[in-house]
Structure 1
């Protein structure tokens, strides 16, 4: 999986969601793909497990942004960032907390971040 390094949302002059509800996050991904963000047109929302894979339960929450920065990630606005995932039930998205690796079913009309990923394959 290839993640965008900007954890808040990837900057795009054409597509810029900031905090958004779940339906808008899906439209944002569509916009990134239509405009070939970073040269790719296969961006998607990560699933719940992909988001959880970035958490490190062995360190305190207030040190996790520094830990992720070691791997090139940046722009965490707080130690608790809700990111929309592609895991859904009915019309509700699964907003997943980066820091605790947990999530809770929530209305698809709550606001969360969009942190797109793309699948990669070896040549």
Structure 2
């Protein structure tokens, strides 16, 4: 196995391990983590259930905050997982990670209430 293949295998194993840890630490509600990056945020959302319509609600929350999604990975098959990198649009006020986290949690709460899952 070459160096490139080993790196891929290690990354895949690490991601699988992190995913298992993340699942083990959640309840039936969604877990939201937001980290500050040099210019923007790394936003992770996980829910054990497939959640039709949740992605739209979260993206609407980003838009209201003035966040531009630069990169995102989403899985909605068995569960809902979103990892996104967001950056403040030019001309918007400076946003803190906690504000982003609260906005995403609020979007999830509103989605849940509108779908009778609260």
Question: What is the TM-score normalised by the length of structure 1?
Answer: 0.26
**Structure that is richer in helix per residue:** 2
- Which structure shows the higher strand fraction? 2
TM-score scaled to structure 2, two decimals? Answer: 0.26
Larger RCO: Structure 1 or Structure 2 (Cα < 8 Å, ≥ 6 residues apart)?
Answer: 1
